[in-house]
């Protein structure tokens, strides 16, 4: 191994083939780029299209190349001697031939791996010839990033040469580096502000629109309806969809065969108050207006970044209680969750904490025997926001009657605490915390009965798939192998998946963009487990398994 690294580090010079010489590519850099390229073609959590796969491979190529160049430089500084030109020439031609064979074999294996992952999530396979395009895209991405890197190096050299007229060479290099770092920081700030400004205009306009077939409701039990303090226009795109899409008392009664009530849905848009506190106060006033504190169940929901609430989660609870429910949410952003997560995730935590505290203060003032069940729901970034209202598990037990958090992020404070302090012998993808007496993790409806011990109330449920990239993405993937890739693979994860520095991070990063482009029960899709989840957390008296099965068929067909 030591000899191979030495050859990789020293096989530069005139032995390079013509094209490689023109591009001035580094032997060790190409070797390591090939290693990273092969690793990038290994399976990740979800199937990727050929375009995404090309970008992942291109980024991995440039990271591997940079690493290899660094190794070459370090070894040359230590060894300080050159290999004979004949040895270099043989090494370069060997790399050319061997590298081509390895790349072709890796592309073939990568296409097979992707179809294997597609099979695991229930998707049809794709034509393996598309992997020719993967190779082309990866080379383009590599070339662009290499050009950017060399452009930065050229700037550094030019600045240093100018400075060498007045200061020693080493000091000139340090000053040039500082200048480039400061310039990069300024450019990053300008670019970030520009991108955020562009995103703000784009998504603000989108928030002002209305989804097709969304009609202003005539029910006085929802925000934006008759008697509401909130205008239809103020609710935002996702708020309008939320209040307009709920089932009516007539529909609920027709399905259940029993008398039903019109569900209450309260939503306060981001432009309805100057502060989160004002929005929460408006929400509580709307709950008062609609009689929400006299319903059987009241659910505080924290939205995703754009203000979205999963329709299946809301509908399931309403059907479960015959419409005798109230659901409340406030919008803290109109950006997609990934932008909100990167730019200012504190908005989500503040919204979750302030809204729940305001509702809890009003709810706790009611006589204990006439309060509705106080439930909590949040999905993805919304689950992280919802957790912010609670300091720990004891706080959860004292202030709620049931919690369902779906697709938690790796940054969820409470979820990570429960996972990291899980019972010995239980895996990260299916953790058991304190014997499952209060908190449970499930990836499917069948998991809700595990472990087979009494599930005390209030019940806290996390729905979390082993192949959900939102749940497992973390910067720590850059340099650290996670438990979920050391332990036996979870449901839906290819046994062939392995951890590689840098590579796995980029694979999972791109997986997050396709997390909802898979069938229910996979990735970031949890609709199939939401009704069973509510049933296990807070089923009304007399509910039966047969009614769950019948209602499941209705919701799946809806």
Domain that holds residue 442: 209-465+526-557
Give the DSSP per-residue string, 121-184: HT-----GGGHHHHHHHHHHHHHHHHHHHHHHHHHHHHHHHHHTTTS-HHHHHHHHHHHHHHHH
Interval 13-18 mean pLDDT: 55
Could you give the CA distance from residue 10 to residue 3 in angstroms, rounded to a whole number? 11
Q: Across residues 468-487, what is the average pLDDT?
A: 95
Tell me, what's the pLDDT at 378?
Answer: 96
Q: Which of 80-94, 119-133, 225-239, 461-475 has the lowest mean pLDDT?
A: 80-94
Task: Clarify whether residues 182 and 266 are in a common domain.
Answer: no
Q: Mean pLDDT of all residues in the chain?
A: 88
- pLDDT at position 420: 96
For helices 337-344 and 346-364, angle between their N-to-C axes, nearest 10 degrees = 100
The residues, any chain, with a CB within 8 Å of residue 56's CB and separated by 6 or more, are: 40, 48, 506, 507, 510
Classify residue 484: in a domain, yes or no: no
Average pLDDT over residues 25-31: 87
pLDDT of residue 175: 80
Final residue in a domain of this structure, among 170, 201, 232: 201
- Count helices and strands in the chain by DSSP H and E runs: 21, 7
> In the sheet where 460-463 sits, what is the strand order?
264-268, 325-330, 297-302, 373-379, 402-406, 460-463, 439-442
Range of weakest confidence among 61-65, 75-79, 303-307: 75-79
Q: Please give the DSSP secondary-structure letter assigned to residue 371.
A: P
How high is the pLDDT of residue 337? 76
Q: Are residues 169 and 299 in the same domain?
A: no
**Distance, CA of 302 to CA of 354 (rounded, Å):** 11
Rounded CA separation 191/196 (Å): 8
What pLDDT is recorded for position 4?
A: 44
Residue 6 has pLDDT above 50, yes or no: no
Count how many domains the chain has.
2
Q: Quick one: 269 and 310 in the same domain?
A: yes
More confident residue, 319 or 26: 319
**Has residue 251 been placed in a domain?**
yes
Is residue 413 in a domain?
yes
What confidence score (pLDDT) does residue 18 get? 54
Average pLDDT, stretch 428-435? 95
pLDDT of residue 200: 61
Which band of pLDDT confidence, cut at 50, 70 and 90, is reported for residue 5?
very low
Lookup: tokens for 34:
């090939």
Query: Is 156 in the same domain as 274?
Result: no
Nearest to 519 by CA among 555, 471, 467: 467
Q: How far is 291 from 266, CA to CA, in rounded Å?
A: 11
For residues 124 and 149, state if they share a domain: yes
Does residue 257 sit in the same domain as residue 195?
Answer: no
Residue 471 falls within a domain, yes or no? Answer: no
pLDDT at 305: 85
Q: How confident is the model at residue 191 (pLDDT cuts 50, 70, 90)?
A: low
347-401 pLDDT, tens digit per residue, is 899 999 999 999 999 999 999 989 999 999 999 999 999 999 999 999 999 999 9
Task: Indicate if 373 and 394 belong to the same structural domain.
Answer: yes
pLDDT tens per residue across span 200-223: 667 777 778 888 888 898 999 999
400 and 368 fall within a common domain: yes
Domain check: are 264 and 193 in the same one? Answer: no
Instruction: Encode pLDDT of 73-101 as tens digits.
Output: 888 878 767 777 787 788 888 888 988 89
What is the per-residue pLDDT across 319-348, written as a single tens digit (0 to 9) for each?
Answer: 999 999 999 999 998 877 777 777 778 889
What are the pLDDT digits (tens) for 260-291?
999 999 999 998 888 999 999 999 999 999 99
Q: 173-197 b/e with 16+ CB inside 10 Å = b?
A: beebeeebeeeeeeeeeeeeeeeee
Q: Are residues 392 and 264 in the same domain?
A: yes
Q: How many residues in the chain?
A: 558
Domain boundary among 176, 201, 226: 201
| Position 361 in a domain | yes
* Residue 327 placed within a domain: yes
% of the chain exceeding 70 in pLDDT: 93
Q: Is the dihedral of CA 181, 185, 187, 192 positive or negative?
A: positive
Are 187 and 219 found together in one domain?
A: no
Task: Copy the structure tokens of residue 176.
Answer: 């040039």
In a domain? residue 57: yes
pLDDT at residue 13 tops 70: no
Where a domain ends, among 154, 173, 201? 201
User: What does the pLDDT read at residue 2?
Assistant: 45
Q: Cβ(138)–Cβ(59) under 8 Å?
A: no
For residue 36, being part of any structural domain is answered with yes
Q: Same structural domain for residues 14 and 119?
A: yes
What SS3 class is residue 14?
A: coil
């Amino acid at each position: 191994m030591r000899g191979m690294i030495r050859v990789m580090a020293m096989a530069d010079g005139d032995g390079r083939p013509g094209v490689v010489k023109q591009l001035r590519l580094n032997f060790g850099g190409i070797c390591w780029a090939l290693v990273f390229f092969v690793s990038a073609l290994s399976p990740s959590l979800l199937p990727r299209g050929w375009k995404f796969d090309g970008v992942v491979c291109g980024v991995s190529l440039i990271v591997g190349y940079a690493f290899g160049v660094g190794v070459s430089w370090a070894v040359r500084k230590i060894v300080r001697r050159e290999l004979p030109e004949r040895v270099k020439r043989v090494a370069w031609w060997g790399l050319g031939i061997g590298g081509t064979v390895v790349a072709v074999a890796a592309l073939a294996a990568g296409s097979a791996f992707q179809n294997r992952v597609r099979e695991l999530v229930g998707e049809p396979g794709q034509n393996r010839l598309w992997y020719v395009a993967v190779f082309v895209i990866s080379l383009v991405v590599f070339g662009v990033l290499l050009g950017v890197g060399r452009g930065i190096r050229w700037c550094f050299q030019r600045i240093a040469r100018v400075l060498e007229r007045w200061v020693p060479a080493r000091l000139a290099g340090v000053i040039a580096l500082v200048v480039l770092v400061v310039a990069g920081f300024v450019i990053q700030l300008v670019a970030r502000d520009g991108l955020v400004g562009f995103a703000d205009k784009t998504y603000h306009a989108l928030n002002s629109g209305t989804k097709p077939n969304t009609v202003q409701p005539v029910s006085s039990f929802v925000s934006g309806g008759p008697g509401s303090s909130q205008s239809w226009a103020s609710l935002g795109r996702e708020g309008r969809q939320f209040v307009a899409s709920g089932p009516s008392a007539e529909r609920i009664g027709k399905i259940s065969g029993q008398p039903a009530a019109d569900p209450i849905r309260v939503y306060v848009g981001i432009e309805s108050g100057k502060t989160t506190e004002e929005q929460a106060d408006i929400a509580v006033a709307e709950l008062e207006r609609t009689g929400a504190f006299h319903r059987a169940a009241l659910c505080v929901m924290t939205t995703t970044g754009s203000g979205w609430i999963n329709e299946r989660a809301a509908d399931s609870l309403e059907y479960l209680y015959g419409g005798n429910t109230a659901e409340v949410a406030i919008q803290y952003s109109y950006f997609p969750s990934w932008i909100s997560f990167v730019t200012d995730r504190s908005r989500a935590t503040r919204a979750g904490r302030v809204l729940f505290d305001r509702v809890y203060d009003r709810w706790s003032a009611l006589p204990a025997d006439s309060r509705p069940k106080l439930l909590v729901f949040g999905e993805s970034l919304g689950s992280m926001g919802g957790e912010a209202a609670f300091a720990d598990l004891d706080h959860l037990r004292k202030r709620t009657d049931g919690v369902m958090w779906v697709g938690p992020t790796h940054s969820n404070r409470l979820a990570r605490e429960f996972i990291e302090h899980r019972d010995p012998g239980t895996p990260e993808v299916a953790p058991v915390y304190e014997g499952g007496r209060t908190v449970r993790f499930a990836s499917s409806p069948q998991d809700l009965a595990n472990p087979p011990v009494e599930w005390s109330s209030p019940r806290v449920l996390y729905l979390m798939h082993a192949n959900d990239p939102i749940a497992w993405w973390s910067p720590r993937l850059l340099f650290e192998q996670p438990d979920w890739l050391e332990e036996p693979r979870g449901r839906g994860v290819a046994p062939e998946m392995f951890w590689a520095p840098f590579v796995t991070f980029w694979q999972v990063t791109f997986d997050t963009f396709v997390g909802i482009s898979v069938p229910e029960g996979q990735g970031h899709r949890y609709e199939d487990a939401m009704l069973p989840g509510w049933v296990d957390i807070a089923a009304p008296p007399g509910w039966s398994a047969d009614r769950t099965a019948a209602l499941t068929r209705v919701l799946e067909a809806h």
